[in-house]
Amino acid sequence: MRKFDRRYTTARGILELTEKREPDFWNLLKVLDKSKPDRPVLYEFGLGGVVAEELTGRRVEYSPSNPLHYYLWYMEAHKKAGHDYLSLTVPRQILFPRKEHQQKKTISINATGLIHDRKSFDSYPWPVVKEEYYWYYKELDEYMLPGMKSIPRGPAGVLENAIMIMGYENLCYALYDDIRLVEDVIERIGRIILEHFRIVVRFKNVGAIIVNDDCGFNTQTFISAEHMRKYIIPWHKEFVAAAHAAGKPAMLHCCGNVNEIMDDFIDVAGYDGKHSFEDNIVPVEKAYELWGERIAIIGGIDMNFLCVSSPEEVFERASAMLDRTSEKGSYALGTGNSMPDYLQKENYYAMISAALME
């Protein structure tokens, strides 16, 4: 029986719990197989630097010239947070260039577009995927901690990049005024992302992939469900197929209201897990009831709830979610999105302590 204990709302308390917890990626694989793990599983799309620094006792800045040094520190932070995996980002050389914009916390989804016609499409500096960029992935084959695997993400997804490259309004107009341009943009984006995933799944340290493609507002998808099914879902199917061909599961990280196309992500694309949930769209408890028998539900403790609630309230909701899923499994506990630096550390620790107490 779990009971809230304020000692475990501190880094010291969490380290006391994770010191005895050995990573075991097999438990996350069980979740993604829609079965019951041997013990509660934790997952975050990203672990904030403030928490990582506090758990490891030091901070290591990311260096493009030596990302391995950063990831060895980040792997230690993941382990000390009770995770069975290391979250990996992509080589910076394959990120899609976008227009410079004001460096603020939020920006307009029209602000970054560089492609608006055929001429700008032809002159766009498309990234080139080269195996040499993944040298630190190969090095991680030798450095991965026992029981852990890595989970690489993509350089954002097909729709997300199309919006960033074209600008949202321009993309919407082009879907009706210049569909050939949209098709060519999506084709180039999709091929690059697929190349990326086909490379990363070959490394032995990689245990799964997560495709990160934000697809909607709070009320609907960014583009129509029909356009999603025609142009976006087929690429997601390709990414999943690349992972499955290597014997590895694929998760979807997708913000926004995608209720209308959830069946497509599950039945057509074939994802093993869905991450990112919001109470004002579909609370994770309801998502589990709706889809938990067909796809693993990952994370989901709402970010706003985590920010405005007390540590005890967070602990109680996390505990209730673990109890709700204890028989069937198919669930990993975590935030609705990621552990950002603005979230109170006490609330994050309270949430994960519910899993770590078992």
Residue-range definition of the domain harbouring residue 318: 6-356
Calculate the average pLDDT of the chain. 95
- 270 lies in some domain: yes
What is the model's pLDDT at position 6? 97
pTM over 0.85: yes
In the structure encoding, which two tokens stand for residue 185, read together? 């943009």
Q: Are 356 and 79 in contact (CB under 8 A)?
A: no
The fraction of the chain above a pLDDT of 90, given in percent, is 93
3-class SS of residue 298:
strand
pLDDT in tens, 72-86: 999 999 999 999 999
Range 265-289 average pLDDT: 98
HEC assignment per residue over 146-186: CCCEEEEECCCCHHHHHHHHHCHHHHHHHHHHCHHHHHHHH
First to last CA, the chain: 9
Distance CA 16, CA 271 (A): 35
Whole-number Å distance between alpha carbons of 149 and 207:
5
What is the Cβ-side half-sphere exposure of residue 231, based on CA atoms within 13 angstroms?
26
Q: What CATH number is associated with residue 259? A: 3.20.20.210
Residue 308: CB atoms within 10 A of its CB come to 11
The pLDDT tens digits of the residues spanning 97-114 come to 988 654 555 555 666 689
**Mean pLDDT to the nearest integer, 223-242:** 98
In the DSSP assignment, the letter for residue 68 is H
pLDDT tens track for 19-64: 989 999 999 999 999 999 999 999 999 999 999 999 999 999 999 8
Residue 1 inside a domain? The answer is: no
Give the per-residue pLDDT at 167: 95
The domain tally of the chain equals: 1
Per-residue confidence (pLDDT) for residue 64, from 0 to 100: 85
Q: Which amino acid is residue 112, in one-letter code?
A: T
Kindly state whether residue 11 falls inside one of the protein's structural domains. Answer: yes
Rounded-to-integer distance, Cα 241 and Cα 238, Å: 5
CA neighbor of 281 nearest in space, from 294, 290, 271: 290
Q: Where are the beta strands (DSSP E) in the chain?
A: 85-88, 149-152, 209-212, 250-253, 273-275, 296-298, 331-332
Other C-beta atoms lying within 10 Å of the C-beta of residue 324: 15
pLDDT digits (tens, 9 = 90+) for 113-124: 899 999 999 999
